[in-house]
């Protein structure tokens, strides 16, 4: 058996039969006569390919493979790779090279230490020294990608490796290799949390993307109810880790230092699970915590724990910790919390609508199984107007790199066809990876894309106001026909001119058997 056939055998052993990519000349030896049990999902640009693989891994719960073309293709993908890394998503990136000389590229990805990135872009990179080592490198990469804390890995694979023979005995051992185990908090560490919660007079819970799973939702809800804990979502959230209509839910924390401190004022203990401490988005000086507030956090990522500027961190699976705490913590003496008053759905005449009204209209169109791929950055802190009652119901780019939402929605839909995906996009974000619309049309992936059209970079205009900058160029996006662009890629598209029409159009699209796009006019920040 040659290296190419062994490559596919290793993928089969791990249940990977879908490859995302945008092929180039170096990939032809691998893709020629693709085995019949594999599916190749063609993206027209590498950033879109990474986004699709990322979404697929999140929805399926299994590692995803994306094949890129050489150094240039890897470069095109790096923006979205920051989201994959920050989201702890198990994606295996393979890159075809003309010769055994590009290991330095993988080393760059694993040794990035710029302040803006804070950590490497991949967990591990490798270029096998011998062609015969390719199957072992792939096996190692898959196992590393899915091990806690999960994350992407990178393999540089020279194009002349594929025809070399491999050792059949070594391959047979690779096919049965496995790594089991998920590091969890030791009982003494859990006892510390239990004791601290019991001693607190006014504790509060903070949840992040690391608890957005069935165990995390159940454990968090039971613990919050047992101890009458108000529950916040950590700043700059990339997922929804708690039901937005639960009586204990208190909203999303502000994404600035003094805003978080103000929200936590009066609480002597903040217990955080599954989140970095904290992902601030707007710079403002101030104290990280109010006087008298102690912060503890449980995270599966030691690097995340070490770089936190405040608090005491414990390393282990945060959802497991929540489950065990809920199982062993008796109900407290505090009275149950009353639910916050929910805002009434807005009904506006138009011709353009507020972000809140648009969300309300979309909420009326979806059901509890709908998954929202959210890249509408000017409203990133108001998505909790959606009624979200199941884990894995909302995803936002973890590192804030635009161009993720559209292709990730396609991957999310392919990764779990049982749940329909609603992709909510700003008209600026759409264009970063707009070519992914072709992939949705070509493979008939039934994602519903809703584009809020405000003809501006509203998020940047918000920043300009906060930072008191005036007359900034390039913040307007006039004269772009989004429905025509979608139609050109093969996606049927329509414009909604009323909120009722928006709800009806999205409901119909969610029951269609292919992709649809709906454009809706959004009120501009300024005229």
Catalytic residue numbers read: 24-25, 27, 46, 69, 281, 400
- In the 8-state DSSP scheme, what is residue 417? T
Q: Where are the beta strands (DSSP E) in 111-261?
A: 124-126, 153-158, 203-207, 231-233, 249-252
Instruction: Collect all residues with Cβ–Cβ distance below 8 Å to 389 and sequence separation of at least 6.
Output: 243, 244, 245, 368
Do the Cβ atoms of 69 and 96 come closer than 8 Å? Answer: yes
- In the 8-state DSSP scheme, what is residue 25? G
Instruction: Collect all residues with Cβ–Cβ distance below 8 Å to 394 and sequence separation of at least 6.
Output: 239, 240, 371, 372, 374, 383, 386, 388
* Number of neighbouring beta carbons within 10 Å of residue 294: 16
Q: Give the length of the chain.
A: 527
Phi, psi for 265 (deg, rounded to 5): -60, 130
Give the strand pairing for 124-126 and 91-97: unpaired
Give the strand pairing for 203-207 and 124-126: unpaired
Distance CA 114, CA 133 (A): 32
> At 413, is the secondary structure helix, strand, or coil?
helix
Burial class for 238, CB neighbours closer than 10 Å (0-12, 13-18, 19+): buried
Instruction: Locate all alpha helices (DSSP H) within 368-434, ordered by sequence.
Output: 405-415
**CB half-sphere exposure, 453, CA atoms < 13 A:** 20
How far apart are the two ends of the chain, measured CA to CA in Å? 66
């Amino acid at each position: 058996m040659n290296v190419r056939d062994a490559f596919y055998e290793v993928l089969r052993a791990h249940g990977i039969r879908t490859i995302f990519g945008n092929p180039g000349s170096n990939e032809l030896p691998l893709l020629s006569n693709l085995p019949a049990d594999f599916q190749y999902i063609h993206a027209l640009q590498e950033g879109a390919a990474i986004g699709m693989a990322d979404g697929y891994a999140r929805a399926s719960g299994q590692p995803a493979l994306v094949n890129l073309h050489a150094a240039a293709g890897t470069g095109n993908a790096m923006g979205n790779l920051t989201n994959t890394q920050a989201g702890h998503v198990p994606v295996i990136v393979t890159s075809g090279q003309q010769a055994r000389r590009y290991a330095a590229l993988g080393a760059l990805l694993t040794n990035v230490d710029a302040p803006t990135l804070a950590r490497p872009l991949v967990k591990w990179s490798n270029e096998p020294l011998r062609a015969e080592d390719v199957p072992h490198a792939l096996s190692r990469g898959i196992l590393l990608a899915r091990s806690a804390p999960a994350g992407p890995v990178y393999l540089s694979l020279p194009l002349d490796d594929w025809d070399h023979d491999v050792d059949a005995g070594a391959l047979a051992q690779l096919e049965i290799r496995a790594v089991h185990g998920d590091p969890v908090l030791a009982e003494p560490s859990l006892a510390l949390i239990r004791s601290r919660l019991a001693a607190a007079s006014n504790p509060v819970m903070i949840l992040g993307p690391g608890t957005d799973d069935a165990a995390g939702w159940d454990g968090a809800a039971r613990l919050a109810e047992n101890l009458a804990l108000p529950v916040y979502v950590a700043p700059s959230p990339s997922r929804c880790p708690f039901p937005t209509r639960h009586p204990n839910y208190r909203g999303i924390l502000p994404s600035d230092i003094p805003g978080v401190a103000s929200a936590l004022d009066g609480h002597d203990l903040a217990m955080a699970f599954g989140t970095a401490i904290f992902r601030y988005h707007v710079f403002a000086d101030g104290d990280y915590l109010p006087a008298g507030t102690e912060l503890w956090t449980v995270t599966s990522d030691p690097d995340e724990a070490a770089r936190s500027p405040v608090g005491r961190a414990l390393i282990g699976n945060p959802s497991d910790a929540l489950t065990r705490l809920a199982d062993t913590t008796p109900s407290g003496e505090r009275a149950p919390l009353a639910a916050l008053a929910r805002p009434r759905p807005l009904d506006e005449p138009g011709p353009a609508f507020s972000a809140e009204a648009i969300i309300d209209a979309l909420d009326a169109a979806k059901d509890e199984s709908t998954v929202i791929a959210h890249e509408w950055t000017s409203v990133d802190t108001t998505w909790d107007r959606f009624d979200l009652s199941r884990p894995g119901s909302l995803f936002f780019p973890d590192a804030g790199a635009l161009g993720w939402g559209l292709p990730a929605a396609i991957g999310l839909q392919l990764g779990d066809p049982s749940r329909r995906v609603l992709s909510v996009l700003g008209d600026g974000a759409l264009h970063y990876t707009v070519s992914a619309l072709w992939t949705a049309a070509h493979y008939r992936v039934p994602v519903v894309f809703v584009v809020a059209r405000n003809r501006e970079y509203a998020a940047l205009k918000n920043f300009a106001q906060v930072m008191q900058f005036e007359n900034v160029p390039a913040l307007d996006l006039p004269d772009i026909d989004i429905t025509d662009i979608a139609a050109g890629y093969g996606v049927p598209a329509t414009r909604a001119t009323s909120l009722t029409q928006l709800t009806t159009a999205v409901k119909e699209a969610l029951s269609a058997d292919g992709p649809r796009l709906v454009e809706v006019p959004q009120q501009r920040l300024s005229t």
